[in-house]
Structures are given as C-alpha cells and as structure tokens.
Chains A and B, each alone.
Chain A
Amino acid sequence: MEREYSRLTRKILLYFGLVVGAASAMFPFLWMTLSSFMTRGETIRRAFIPENIQLANYVEAWHEANFGLYFENSVIVAVIQVIGTLTLSLLAAYPLARMEFRGRDTIFAIILATLMIPETVTMVPNFLTVTWLHRNTPILWLNSWPSLTIPFLTSAFSIFLLRQFLRGIPNDLWEAARIDGAGHLRFLFRIVLPLCRPPLLTVGMFTFIGSWNSLAWPLLVTNSSEWRPISVGLQQFVSEAGAEIHLQMAGAVIATIPVLFVYFLIQKEFTEGISMSGLKG
C-alpha cells in the first residue's frame, strides 16, 4: 500500500516535470504561430493574441518569399544531401568501426578535426574551391545544385555517430557471420545495414534539418533565385529598420512544418530496442 502511494507520487511528479518541460519547449513555437496570425501593427506593439486571424499572412508570405520555387529547391537539395550523407557516411564509418587497417585511427582523427573550425572561416575557402571547380570542370557549380549539395555529401558528425553505433554491435554477430563464410562487405550489407535503422534515421534527419535551415552558404553561391532555398525566402521580411514579424513568422511556420513532419514519421522508430532474431542470448 505504501509502496503504491510513493509510486503514485513519483509518477505525478514525473508527469508534472515533463509537462512543465514540454510547455516551456513549446512556448516559443506557440508565440511564433500566434504572431503569424497578427497584423503588422499588432506584432510591433507586442500584442499577445491577435484580434483577428490573419490567414492572409500565409498567402502573402508564400508569394513574397517565392516559397513555391524555394520550397522545391530546398526539398531537392535536402534529399540529395540526405541520400549522399547516409551512403557515404555509412560506408566510411564501417571500416573505421569494425576493420583493422593501417592509418585507421589517424584518418578518424583527421576526419574529426574537420569539425573543429567555425563556419565563418570555412566559407571563403570553400567558395574558392567551388569557383575553381566551376571554371575548370564541365559541371555548372555556381548558381546551381552541385555547389549546394556536393560539399555536404558527408560530414564528420555523421561518420562519427555511425561509427559509435557500429562499434556497439556485438562481436558475436560478426563471428557468426564469419563462420558462415561472409566477408566484411557481405556483413555490412546483409546484417549491419538492417540493424542501422535508428542511427541512420537520426543522421538523415539531422542532415535534413541542417540542409533545410542553411542560409549563409546558399546566399554565397547563388546569385539568382533559381536555386535558392527557403531560408533565403525568410530573409525577405527583415530589414535594418524593423522586422515584419507577422510575415516572417508565417514563413517560419511554413518552413518548420516539413521538418516536424519528417521527425514525426521517423520518431516511431525509436521506441523499443531492436529484437535480434537468430541470435541466442
């Protein structure tokens, strides 16, 4: 009886904590959505609730920020980056995690090192590289999708994350496969790949988000709206004298929905641990 009582209080406290946490997490998003329904004057005056719901804001934001075209561009670029990153990073993480070869740890250290420099400093040399490629290869880089995707076809972050996961795969699995006559490649594609869903989905999602929100680089490598992403569209509503928050927030809501949708789709994967059939405990 007493044990149940303390269990109940624990549960209540837990839920209370979670609700408070969730409420604070949600609050800015709520404010953002409310602002997207206000008039310009209301947002400047910092009104809390709009008097009338200005759905027109969404229509206006969509047109003003050229969302139709930019949306399409963002999707294409994001998809390419995600597919590229998942492939290249998994391929790279496997040998780093599960194979012995010369220079393994050095290469991993160098890969990690590429994470350790701020973007402000890497943008200029990357632009120089892209311009050189533009001038010396038959591919159109500037103002087109290659410059928006190819530099990001992999990242040290995703390689690192996948490597950690792959290292955690029990050796018994590998031994069993070896006994069955499989080499590394077969092990990777037949056994490891299916196991990788959670981390692959995570990497995919973060790559998607990173691609979706990137602003500085697309502005640098594009000159016309042809290949510009949504983030550039959102910039339309900021000027040095004031911000048109009502449109900016409408745009931000439009831009955030796809990301949330993707997350919603994949978060179901992260429920229980995986069940590995065919392996005796």
Chain B
Amino acid sequence: MRNILAGLLSCFLVFGCDERTPEFSEYEVVDLEIVDPTGQEIVYWYQHTREREKELQTMIAHFNQSNPYDISVKGEFAGSYKDIYNKMVVGIQTDVLPNITVAYQNQAVAYYRDGGIVDITPYMDSSKWGLKPDDRKDFVESFLSHDFINGVQIGFPPNRSIEVLYYNANWLQEIGFDHPPRTWDQFAALCSIAKDRPFSLNVNKKRSIGFLIEADASRLASMVFSRGGNLADIENKLYSFDSMEMRSSLVWLRKWIVDGSVELLSEKYADQAEFAAGQVLFMLGSSSGLPFVESAVRDGFDFEWNVTHLPHTTHSPKVNVYGASISLCKSSASKQLASWLFLKWLTEPEQQARWVRASNYFPVRRSTADRLTDYFKENPQYKSAYSLLEFGKSEPTISSYQQVRKKMQEIIVDVAYGGDVEQAVNNLQSYAEQLNY
C-alpha cells in the first residue's frame, strides 16, 4: 500500500513539477459546491498596455495578497485581440491555454464551439460561489446578456464602452444652439449650418462639415437603435434588417452626404483629429476615445465640448453598448473555480471604481457610481456618458453577426456614394438570412 502511495506521489511530483506537461485532468461534471479553489495558480491573458496594464497588475497583486483562498493570478500581456485569438487557436490545439482570457463575443463563440472555454452560468448561479441576488441585480442586465449566446454565458464583462455623440459645444453656441439636437431633422439642420458657418477657431475655414461618420456596423446600429429599431429578433434568431428604421437611417445618411454636410470617414482616427481642429461639429464614436479627444482638444484650441446620445424617436434615448469580455478557459475544476473567483472580484464595485479611474471604461455594476463622485467632477464628459449607461442596447448576439457586420459596412459605403437604399437593405437581409447561426 505504501509503495502504491509512494508511486502515486512520485508520479504526481514528476508530472506536477514539470511545467511543460499539461496540468489539467479531463473536465468531469463536478458539483461546484464541493470544489476547492485553494492555492491555485491562474494565468490571465489581456491586451491592455501602459497605464491600464499597470493598474491591472497592481490590482492583481492586491488580489493575490488579499484573497482568502491563496489563489495567485499571473497576468500576461498577450498582444492585440487578433494576436490573442491566434494564441488561443494554437493553444486549444496544443493545450497551451491560459485560465482566463480577453475575447470578443464572436471569438468566444468560436472558442466555445471547439471546447476551449466553458459556460460561466453555473458559476454565476452557484449558491456557494456565485453572485448574490443583490449583486446580480446591481449588474446592468444588458451587459451580461450581451455575452449570453445560444444559451451559454461565453464571457463575463469586466467593463463596457458606449457609443456616444461628441459635439463641439462652443461651435453650437456660435450657431445659436445651447443644446445638442433632439431630433434627426434638427441634427441634419445643424450639420447643414455647420457646413456654411465654420467654427471661429478653425484655421482652415474651407474645411467645415457637420458630421463625420465611420463606415462601421456599430455606427449604423446606433442610428437604427435611436429610431426604435432592432437589428435582429434574438428570441427567434432572425435578422430584421428589412425594417423602416434601417431604411430611414440609410436614407438620412445618403441625403446628407450628397448634400455635403455629412461625410464618411476615410482614415482611422481622422475624426478625432478633425473634431479637435474644429472642422467637424459632431462625431460618433466609442467612449474609450474620450481621453484621446480630450488631450487633442486641450493641446489645441481648448474649446468646450461634451458627449451625448444620438437624437431619438423613442421614449428614452438609446445608446449602443459594446466591449470585449473575459472568457473562462477549460481546465481542472479547481482552476476554473479559482478563475471565476478572480473574475467575480474584478467586478466588485471597489475594483470597478479603481478600474474606471485607470482605464476610462464603464463599469458593469451600477453601485460603482457611488465611489466615483470625485472622478465625475474631474471628468465632466465621462459623467455625461455615464448617465447614458441605463439606455444601453447591444448589437445582436447571434454567432454569425460578425460576418454580417462586414456586409453592413459595405452597404453603408454603397448607399453613401449614391446607391439605392431599397436594394441595399434587401441585399443585407438576404445575405444575413443565408448564414448559419
């Protein structure tokens, strides 16, 4: 008996110590309540750099010191989203995986399909380890559901970004308005006026337009949402591009591009540049661009500006909410549990507030706002954007949506340069329909 035990122990030592052999056992269905996460070592792949990375590493160190289970997390910069995808792809094939990784929804779906990541629902719902009902309610529900695809929670959101309308407040005042447009017609009128009445601080008066918009699916989605439309009927897994709201969005876009007061963005980040140069009155972009616009304006003409929601025909405003989430990779039951505990900790309000200050992202729990009063004071634009979180709506969580996005981009370009709206909408709808979910 002793020999057998010794043999087992030595095997354990040999294989356990050799960091090169895969450490995990096959994932059996285990009762979560009895799994022990003590002493586990977790690897976390992220794409953050600079200040965000520094803060994340500090937070990780704090977790390692303070968590009651002696779990130690090792955070590693693994490249951009694309590089991380590459690493995950080869990792899934060779069992060289982290324990948690950053992933966009479409990437996470791909990982899940091939058994690289697991469903987080059991962890969220566990009575011993999961989210308490109050905590669960504290989450902005649409953020969680954004990662809930085909009945599986493929990711857990640590933060979010929202798409906001940046506007030059001083310029608006010069034109005679003291608030951003409330209807699409007002918006169009303002753009048109902006074309003819350049900003006073603009040194290049020949270049003056109202709205610079990127040919991106998320921008179009924002426009459709603001008119009360949907891109898909999630419950029945049907795309619904063939809608009045889609048509009116495209018609509006085409009309005002032809007029010359709205333009399609031709160079990445050029909208930030032109906005800061006072050449563009409105731009539509992610809230994560706030710090960039802020430094550009501050180092330039330092005019007053702010962010708000798009004009809406619905009862309350609608903003497009998006962001990557963190997925839980497949490994041993203990490691998975330990990873979940770290994720849960990351989304606690105290950590969320810390993360907001460093990253300028938006938290996923409402009560975080209580800890951010001073931050709001110092960053008025962030505060404006924050107030819009309640009105968040996400793009469809159907797995084929990523491919549809490309088509949406195409039809924006088509319509902008004079194409027929009806044809574009029909193309989009039929293209989307023939994809597998």
| Interface set of A (CB-CB < 8 Å, partner B) | 39-42, 44-47, 64, 123-124, 127-128, 131, 134-135, 142, 216, 219-220, 223-225, 232, 235-244
Q: Is the pair B300, A41 in contact by a Cβ cutoff of 8 Å?
A: yes
- Among the listed B21, B50, B273, B296, which residue makes an inter-chain contact with A135, where contact means beta carbons less than 8 Å apart? B21
Complex CA–CA separation, A83 to B389 (angstroms): 57
A220 and B50 in contact, given A240-B81, A241-B286 (Cβ under 8 angstroms) = no
Q: Is B192 an interface residue (CB 8 A)?
A: no
A223 and B94 in contact, given A135-B21, A239-B49 (Cβ under 8 angstroms) = no
**SS class of chain B's interface: helix, strand, loop or mixed?**
helix
C-beta contact mask, B252-286 vs A, less than 8 Å → 1, else 0?
Answer: 00000000000000000110110011000000001
Q: Is the pair A39, B299 in contact by a Cβ cutoff of 8 Å?
A: yes
Q: Tell me the smallest distance from the CB of A129 to a CB of chain B, in Å.
A: 10
Q: Is the pair B86, A123 in contact by a Cβ cutoff of 8 Å?
A: yes
A242 and B79 in contact, given A236-B49, A236-B50 (Cβ under 8 angstroms) = no
A242 and B276 in contact, given A40-B295, A135-B21 (Cβ under 8 angstroms) = no
Q: Is the pair B80, A235 in contact by a Cβ cutoff of 8 Å?
A: yes
Q: Which of B84-114 contact A (CB under 8 A)?
A: 86-87, 89-90, 93-94, 96
A46 and B86 in contact, given A39-B299, A224-B76 (Cβ under 8 angstroms) = no
Question: Total interface residues on B, using CB and 8 Å?
Answer: 38
Q: Is the pair A46, B286 in contact by a Cβ cutoff of 8 Å?
A: no
Complex CA–CA separation, A161 to B87 (angstroms): 33
Q: Is the pair A142, B83 in contact by a Cβ cutoff of 8 Å?
A: no
Q: Is the pair B81, A223 in contact by a Cβ cutoff of 8 Å?
A: no
Q: Is B128 an interface residue (CB 8 A)?
A: no
Complex CA–CA separation, A225 to B289 (angstroms): 28
A242 and B49 in contact, given A41-B295, A128-B94 (Cβ under 8 angstroms) = no
Complex CA–CA separation, A45 to B276 (angstroms): 6
Q: Is the pair A241, B87 in contact by a Cβ cutoff of 8 Å?
A: no
Q: Tell me the smallest distance from the CB of A251 to a CB of chain B, in Å.
A: 12
Q: Is the pair B272, A127 in contact by a Cβ cutoff of 8 Å?
A: no
Q: Tell me the smallest distance from the CB of B56 to a CB of chain A, in Å.
A: 13
Other than the given A46-B277, A223-B76, A241-B291, 14 more pairs (CB < 8 A) read A40-B295, A44-B295, A45-B296, A45-B299, A47-B300, A127-B94, A134-B20, A216-B86, A219-B78, A220-B83, A237-B50, A238-B49, A238-B80, A242-B289
Q: Tell me the smallest distance from the CB of B336 to a CB of chain A, in Å.
A: 20
The 5 closest A-B pairs by CB, nearest first: A41-B299, A44-B296, A242-B292, A241-B288, A219-B79
Q: Which of B11-58 contact A (CB under 8 A)?
A: 20-21, 43, 49-50
Select from chain A the residue with minimum beta-carbon distance to B273: A46
Q: Is the pair A44, B269 in contact by a Cβ cutoff of 8 Å?
A: yes
Q: Is the pair A220, B269 in contact by a Cβ cutoff of 8 Å?
A: no
Give the chain A neighbours of B77 by CB distance below 8 A.
225
Complex CA–CA separation, A239 to B276 (angstroms): 19
| Interface set of B (CB-CB < 8 Å, partner A) | 20-21, 43, 49-50, 76-81, 83, 86-87, 89-90, 93-94, 96, 161, 269-270, 272-273, 276-277, 286, 288-289, 291-293, 295-300
Complex CA–CA separation, A216 to B96 (angstroms): 17
Give the chain A neighbours of B81 by CB distance below 8 A.
240
Select from chain A the residue with minimum beta-carbon distance to B82: A216
Complex CA–CA separation, A203 to B374 (angstroms): 59
Give the chain A neighbours of B50 by CB distance below 8 A.
64, 236-237, 244
Q: Tell me the smallest distance from the CB of B287 to a CB of chain A, in Å.
A: 9
Q: Is the pair A219, B298 in contact by a Cβ cutoff of 8 Å?
A: no
Q: Tell me the smallest distance from the CB of A16 to a CB of chain B, in Å.
A: 32
- Among the listed B90, B161, B297, which residue makes an inter-chain contact with A124, where contact means beta carbons less than 8 Å apart? B90
- Among the listed A134, A135, A220, A232, which residue makes an inter-chain contact with B86, where contact means beta carbons less than 8 Å apart? A220
Q: Tell me the smallest distance from the CB of B208 to a CB of chain A, in Å.
A: 16
Give the chain A neighbours of B161 by CB distance below 8 A.
241
Q: Tell me the smallest distance from the CB of B40 to a CB of chain A, in Å.
A: 18
Select from chain A the residue with minimum beta-carbon distance to B80: A235
14 A-B Cβ contacts within 8 A? A39-B299, A40-B295, A41-B295, A41-B296, A41-B299, A44-B296, A45-B276, A45-B277, A123-B90, A219-B79, A223-B43, A237-B49, A240-B81, A241-B291
Give the chain B neighbours of A223 by CB distance below 8 A.
43, 76, 78
Give the chain A neighbours of B293 by CB distance below 8 A.
44
Complex CA–CA separation, A147 to B20 (angstroms): 15
A135 and B300 in contact, given A123-B86, A224-B76, A243-B269 (Cβ under 8 angstroms) = no
Complex CA–CA separation, A237 to B161 (angstroms): 20
Complex CA–CA separation, A239 to B291 (angstroms): 12
Q: Is the pair A124, B298 in contact by a Cβ cutoff of 8 Å?
A: no
Give the chain A neighbours of B83 by CB distance below 8 A.
216, 219-220
Complex CA–CA separation, A241 to B79 (angstroms): 15
Q: Is the pair B90, A220 in contact by a Cβ cutoff of 8 Å?
A: yes
Complex CA–CA separation, A16 to B48 (angstroms): 48
Q: Is the pair B79, A128 in contact by a Cβ cutoff of 8 Å?
A: no
Complex CA–CA separation, A93 to B94 (angstroms): 35
Select from chain B the residue with minimum beta-carbon distance to A124: B90
Most buried by B among A124, A220, A244: A220
Select from chain A the residue with minimum beta-carbon distance to B79: A219
Complex CA–CA separation, A127 to B273 (angstroms): 40
Select from chain A the residue with minimum beta-carbon distance to B269: A242
Q: Is the pair A235, B79 in contact by a Cβ cutoff of 8 Å?
A: yes
